[in-house]
Amino acid sequence: MTTRNRLIVDILAAVVYLIAANPAVTGLAVHEWVSVGLVVVFVIHCALSGDVIIATIRKRLGAGAVLNLILDAVTLVVFMVVTVSGLMVSRFLLPLLGFVAPGYFFWNPLHSISAKVLLALLLVHVVAHWRWLAALFDFRRKASAASPVDKPEVVAKTKEK
């Protein structure tokens, strides 16, 4: 998978998360449906990042890599808690499937707290990968700002003539 495609998935995940994270604005039904879409995007993000995680584990791990893997693992666990607790307090999706989950007064506070923890972890995740993002955008900016003469394929074609 190319870096560009990973970036597209990451941006899509961020946008979908921002929509899903505010049920007061979107309404509860939209919140629940968009959250299902977020689960799909999150699974795609994890699958695309799997090769990077495996390569990191195979290398001799430095402190930064270990902390990043721990952050990713904790984020995954908290995301699963948010997802399960969200399903358990669902007022649209679960009843649509014919289910009503007991224990609302357990699941609702768990969902609220874990959602806030997830937000904090996602912010830390973005900060942890900030250098990669900055380098990626800086490379794209420099590449688009270069004049056609500076591009190797244009220089090669010009010399041929």
What are the extents of the domains in the chain?
3-128
Ramachandran assignment for 99, one of left (phi > 0), alpha (psi -120 to 50 degrees), beta (any other): beta
Tell me the pLDDT tens digit for each residue of 54-71: 877 777 677 887 888 899
Looking at residue 60, the DSSP 8-state letter turns out to be P
User: Which residues in the chain show pLDDT less than 70?
Assistant: 1, 60, 139-161
Return the structure tokens found at 138: 């800086």
What pLDDT shows up at residue 1? 60
What pLDDT shows up at residue 141? 60
Using CA atoms of 101, 102, 104, 108 in order, give the dihedral in degrees to the nearest 10: -50
